[in-house]
C-alpha cells in the first residue's frame, strides 16, 4: 500500500487566549479552506513571528488548541535566529520561544516562552490503514519517496493512529525539497 505525501508549510496552532490577545476578545477564526485532516482548516488570519534575526508571516490553522505552537522547517527556524528543535506536535516543553503579533490585529505582541518546533515527520493513519500497513501507534518507521530524479529514504517517521485521521504522511518544506517531492506524491512505508 502506498501512502500520500503532503508537504506541511510553516504554520501556527493557537490557543484561544493567545488568539483573543492578538485579535480581540471573543474573536473567532475565519476559515479560508479545509485541510486534508478532518476538522483542520487554514484560516484568513496571519501572524508575524518575530525572531532575533528576522520576521516571518505565518498562517494560523484551526481549530484552536490548548497550547500555542509554531511549526516551521529547520531553515525557517535558523533564518529567524531560533535553534531548530524537532518534536512531535503538542510537545513544546523546553522548546525555543519567540514573539508574535497579528497581521491586521490588535497590535498587541505576545511573547511565547516556548512553542517553536520543527515537526517530526509523521504518518497519520486510520486503524484500518495502519493494519494494512502493518504499523502501530507511536511506532517509528521509514518512508521512501520517489521524487523526480531524487529518490529519498527518510527515517524517524512516527506513526500516529486515530480513527479521526485521513491517512497521509506529513513532511516539512525542507524534506520535500530535499526529495524533489512532486505534488500528490505517494510513498512506501519501510520497516
**14-34 tens-digit pLDDT:** 999 999 999 999 999 999 999
Q: What is the pLDDT of residue 142?
A: 98
Q: What is the pLDDT of residue 36?
A: 95
Domain ranges of the chain: 9-119, 122-190
Q: Following DSSP, what letter does each residue of 54-112 receive, concatenated?
A: -EEEEEEEES--SS-EEE--HHHHHHHT----EE-TT--TT---EEEEETTS---EEEE
Examine the pLDDT at 132 and tell me if it is beyond 90. Answer: yes
Q: Provide mean pLDDT across the span 57-70.
A: 98
Give me the chain's average pLDDT, please.
96
pLDDT, tens digit, 9 for 90 and up, residues 82-129: 999 999 999 999 999 999 999 998 899 999 999 999 999 999 999 999
pTM over 0.85: yes
What percent of the chain has a predicted confidence (pLDDT) above 70?
100
Amino acid at each position: 500500500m502506498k501512502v500520500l505525501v503532503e508537504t506541511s508549510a510553516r504554520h501556527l496552532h493557537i490557543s484561544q487566549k493567545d488568539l483573543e490577545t492578538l485579535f480581540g476578545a471573543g474573536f473567532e477564526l475565519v476559515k479560508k479552506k479545509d485541510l486534508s485532516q478532518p476538522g483542520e482548516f487554514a484560516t484568513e488570519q496571519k501572524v508575524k513571528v518575530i525572531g532575533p534575526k528576522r520576521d516571518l508571516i505565518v498562517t494560523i490553522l484551526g481549530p484552536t488548541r490548548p497550547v500555542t505552537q509554531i511549526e516551521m522547517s529547520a531553515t525557517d527556524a535558523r533564518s529567524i535566529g531560533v535553534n531548530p528543535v524537532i518534536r512531535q506536535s503538542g510537545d513544546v516543553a523546553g522548546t525555543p520561544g519567540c514573539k508574535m503579533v497579528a497581521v491586521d490585529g490588535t497590535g498587541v505582541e505576545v511573547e511565547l516562552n516556548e512553542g517553536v518546533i520543527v515537526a517530526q515527520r509523521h504518518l497519520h493513519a486510520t486503524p484500518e490503514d495502519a493494519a494494512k500497513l502493518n504499523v502501530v501507534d507511536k511506532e517509528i518507521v521509514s518512508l521512501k519517496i520517489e521524487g523526480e530524479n531524487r529518490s529519498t529514504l527518510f527515517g524517524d517517521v512516527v506513526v500516529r493512529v486515530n480513527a479521526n485521521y485521513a491517512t497521509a504522511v506529513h513532511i516539512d518544506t525542507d524534506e520535500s525539497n530535499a526529495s524533489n517531492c512532486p505534488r500528490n506524491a505517494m510513498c512506501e512505508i519501510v520497516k
